[in-house]
Structure 1
Amino acid sequence: MTVAIIRFGGSNCDRDAERALAHLEIDAEIVWHEDGLPEDTTGIMLPGGFSYGDYLRAGAMAARSPIMAEVREAAADGVPVLGVCNGAQIGCESGLTEGAFTTNESARFQCEHVYLRVERADTPWTAAYEEGEVIEIPIAHGEGRYEIRDERLTELEDENRILFRYCDETGETGPEVNPNGSKHNVAGVLGDHEGVAVLMPHPERATVPDVGPTAGQGVLRGFERAVELE
């Protein structure tokens, strides 16, 4: 398989993603957004960074790049798509997933390790974990607070589309362990089908043993599992 890592002006985690996927022996290539998706694309990653300087809203301008129409079409055809941090913002802005990411409750950029509780373990992105398992993955964002109408969040929860929630190391959630003020401690959600997901924490920064914890490997392995399920 070949994962297309889409680079926009201002992306800065594309090489991290490429290195992490290479460590897992998953073929990946960085694709400039103006060049369109390669014909052999079997997975798509929207990496972190500050596309277009986060002008207007984080991810809003990149979401209107012509390549995102290709991404939506590929996602509808079953190609797995993962948006991370700025990629999650782009994913929401482009309609791949619901809700939006906005300014942290602290109004500050936050870069730290956090704990996540796995809300379901039957998706490609979470099959490496147990439901309720707690993993440690870093965050680095200024606009990571997940917002959505209360009634729609209830529907997403009823539809079992919440992937991860911020928690403490025992798995307990609440405002005191919510780094950015996200509603119901939401850190990651699914799109209309399980092959599309966005999350604010950085699994690619928790994959290569030389640079720290490796709990993020399971998320990136989702590209392989999603293809196997096709």
Structure 2
Amino acid sequence: MTGPTRRILVVEDEPVINGAVTDRLTAEGYDVAQAYDGPAAVRAFEEQGPDLVVLDVMLPGFDGHEVCRRIQAVRPVPVLMLTARDDETDILVGLGVGADDYMTKPFRMRELVARVAALLRRVDRAAQLAGSGTDGVTDLGDLRIDGGARRVWAAGEEVHLTPTEFDLLVCLAAEAGTVLTRERLLADVWGWPGASGTRTVDSHVKALRAKIGSDRVRTVHGVGYALETGAR
């Protein structure tokens, strides 16, 4: 790794999993803090100021969704959620409270490291754009996207998106009206060229639709998605 050491908070109540994730991320050069329940996770977040949180859904005290809601209210931070249930509703709840990505247990440690790195790259890219002074405002009907400020308005109301949701929207808006395949979105938004995590794309599109309006993103079955160009 180059540049300042990044701090990651690992929140997982199972000591073996917590320890394994912590050891692997430490070996990758990250500074890692740990927590084992909901209240401790919020305290550690406030005390440690992590750059990213790896967060299990099922926790003692209060669950990962509540942890995510509370920490995002303190300071926006990328969150990678871990869930034992391959349940779309559970995943969408996590995305709805501010998680950027999720992984279903059991998972490969190499994939977790790759997703952590991809999330941090997106944060870096967002900071560079915000500091560049570039306007980057796009108007698509009554949808406005300010790339530099990373802000979005739908029908005149500001919409609060997670970093991943924002990047997904920008990617679709860059070729508005054109159908982008799930594989293309995985490569451009998540930084996973050649990956096959199409359900990840589908879940994030559903979360994005819930915030900007369900009819703004068109599904082309078996292919991908397109952002509509006209006003609703």
Q: TM-score, normalised by structure 2?
A: 0.37
- If asked which structure has higher relative contact order (CA below 8 Å, sep 6+), I would say 1
- Larger Cα-atom Rg: 2
Q: TM-score, normalised by structure 1?
A: 0.37
Structure with bigger helix share is 2
